A and B are shown apart, each in its own frame.
Chain A
Amino acid sequence: MEPMTPLAAIGGGLLIGTAAGLFLLLTGRIAGVSGMAAAATRIARGGPPWTQAAAFVIGLPIGAVLIARLVRSPDVVVTSSWPLLIAAGLLVGFGTRLGNGCTSGHGVCGIARLSPRSLVATATFMASAAATVFVARHLIGG
């Protein structure tokens, strides 16, 4: 895996943050992807209007394709086996609903507005994710 230039990382981050900010000013809501995915599939009751959530979710892969075509084709590496992907997906889906957000809603948006719940949630999922990687890679061995 090639090291990233800080410029690409910062540029990508600015796009993400601008999107989240625009979503707030346009729709009045947090650009939380887990909440949007739940609303777009009608798994969540309430939340953002279905059309907006579905449009946002459809836009995500379109944006990724645009970058792949125009800038750089991504060198995506997924090492997880299928049972691991299923377990991870179940945990992410259940956990983000229980905790009301993920990396975007709590991470980007929550930190930007200094929400105490989001700051605590972000610290918690960062710590549990790092601990999980540590156990998987350095204790069990991977």
Chain B
Amino acid sequence: MRGFIPALAVGILFGAGLALSDMINPARVQAFLDVAGDWDPTLAFVMAAAVVPSAIAYVIRRRLSRPLLADRFAIPESRILDRPLLGGAALFGIGWGLAGFCPGPALAGLVLGIWQPWLFVAAMLAGMAVHRLIFDRPAAAPRKLEG
């Protein structure tokens, strides 16, 4: 159970941020993506603000030999731009644009009393399972680090 409570607290903080900034609202997200329509800049403010404390943490990280609750840092170091990265990001963007949900807001939205996030999350997990069936066979190449 190492790290359960801290990870829970961090997840609560993350979910609170998504709700406070209204990123759990697909209409708000799609209004940002709709550059030719009635454009809503909220998502740009949210991302710009989120990058600041996150970047500070990466600066602090350089002074730490190990994280507080684990033995080592596990940060992806690859700098290779390959087709899975581009194709995966492109497919993700199509799905994101279609419904206005990405993984965080959909999971945070499970308790809003509406059914749509449940269906989206179920389909998302199915999509992840399909990826595993196709690409992540036990005999496949060594695993990449998570991004």
Contacts and interface: CB of A to CB of B under 8 A. Distances in A.
A28 B46 contact: no
Contact of A59 (B8, B27, B71, B136): B8
B85 A13 contact: no
A89 B146 contact: no
Interface in A106-121: 106-113, 115-118, 120-121
B131 A97 contact: yes
Interface residues of A, number: 121
B48 interface: yes
A56 B51 contact: no
Given A84-B98, A85-B99, A57 B21 contact: no
Contact of B147 (A24, A55, A110): A110
Contacts of A133: 30, 33-34, 97
Contacts of B122: 89
B98 to A, nearest CB: 4
Contacts of B5: 55
A127 B132 CA distance: 26
Given A55-B3, A86-B119, A132 B114 contact: no
Given A55-B5, A108-B54, A111-B51, A117 B76 contact: yes
Nearest to A116: B79
A19 B14 contact: yes
Contacts of A66: 12, 15-16, 19
Interface string B6-40: 11111111111111111111111011011111001
Contacts of B30: 133
B73 A128 contact: no
Interface in A56-109: 56-68, 71-72, 74-80, 82, 84-109
B94 A20 contact: no
Given A116-B79, A130-B97, A76 B57 contact: no
Contacts of A33: 14, 102-104, 107
12 contacts: A1-B28, A10-B49, A17-B49, A26-B69, A28-B70, A55-B3, A62-B111, A63-B15, A63-B17, A91-B127, A93-B130, A99-B91
Interface of B: 1-28, 30-31, 33-37, 40, 42, 45-58, 60-61, 64, 66-76, 78-81, 84-104, 106-112, 114, 116-117, 119-132, 135-136, 143-147
Interface of A: 1, 3-4, 6, 8-35, 37-39, 41, 43-49, 51-53, 55-68, 71-72, 74-80, 82, 84-113, 115-118, 120-122, 124-134, 136-138
